[in-house]
Homo-oligomer: A and B are copies of this chain.
Amino acid sequence: MERRAMENFSFFNPTRIEFGTDKERLIGKGLAEHGVKKALLCYGSERIKREGLFDVVGRSLAEHDIQLVEFGGIVSNPVISRVREGIALARAEGVDAILSVGGGSVLDSAKAIAAGVRHAGDVWDLFVGKAGIESALPLFAIQTLAATGSEMNPSAVVTNDETQEKFFIASPLLFPKLSIVNPALMRGVSRDYLVYSASDVIAHLIETYFTATVQPKLQSRLVESLIITVIETTEALLANPADYAARAQFAWAATLALNGLCYSGTAGFSYPNHAIEHSLSALFNVPHGAGLSVVVPAWMKWYRARNPSQFDRFAVEVFGVDGGEQGIAALQAWYDKIGTPTRLSQLGIPADDLSAIVDNVQRNVRLFGIAETYTPEAVAEILRLAR
């Protein structure tokens, strides 16, 4: 397989990132610069109120005479039923922007609301391709967790809680106008969510790296730089959660992992690990990153023979070990060491009957356009390697 050429591409990422301490105080000014008068403030738990962030945001908006409408209680693995509620509220209140304060689940819900408000039919139409995204309210974000990269990309993942489908949307209209990333706001992230986030970022980086049919060395080097950074800073944060420099580099690596940089010039890549994990999340509501650290090593074992030189490269460049198998083992050992699951049993998923998962995955792989490779037999084999 030719993996040295470079594919034609477009790179366009108009999101403004304000990164660093106290940057959340710029949010009112940022909204005002886009003429916003009334924003739907999406958030998750009440933590942002307890920790004072809510007040900072409220004051910043008030200084610019911007009204806010609260829409809280968004949970991880966000669901379309709540998105529909958000759309109804946004319409009833006549907001002219959506502001997300939280992690990737809140922002992805906010993106779905921003697009859904401007779509006459049901918002799920946009996820299943029944309708395209023709318009969206302007989006703004303050991130309190670094993982999904949603703050600087145009896509969102939401679960349909009726059909147990975890699907995605993407449109240039869904780039946030402004995303504020203050690593200090991430100080309160739990140990578990830190390691799940590390797993999520690594999965974003690995999917393209191994599956692309066109993967120039330049892009491989960028990916390796980011993976090494995630490994190093995760360990630093587990040792000392107050290490600002580590948290900042972790956060920026998470953003760069999925903002277009790493796949500019690559081609033919796919997201099989996400396709499989989305079913684990949809069926068992496991945290996305925890599901990924189970799926990824199993998938790597299954996939290695299809791209052996890249697995050899990964082993040497990321872990300094020789041979693709050793590289996979090193990653799995690292997941074990930091305490993110690597076995289905650790997720509490019964591994004796995998058929429900295999069935659910088939909907995802069709959506991701990779059903030909990821047949039920192949998915079952990957899941067996994760037992």
Contact = CB atoms under 8 A, between A and B. Distances in A.
B19 A264 contact: yes
A18 B249 CA distance: 29
Interface stretch (A59-67, A136-144, A218-226, A305-313): A218-226
A66 to B, nearest CB: 21
A96 B244 CA distance: 47
Nearest to A182: B8
A226 B220 CA distance: 11
Interface residues of A, number: 41
Integer count of this chain's copies in the complex: 2
Contacts of A232: 217
A20 B7 contact: yes
Interface string A234-246: 0000000000110
Given A14-B14, A19-B265, A218 B8 contact: no
Contacts of A5: 244-245, 248
A236 B79 CA distance: 51
Interface in A66-118: none
Interface string A3-29: 011111111111011111111000000
Interface of A: 4-14, 16-23, 183, 216-218, 221-222, 224-226, 228-229, 232, 244-245, 248-249, 252-253, 256, 261, 264-265
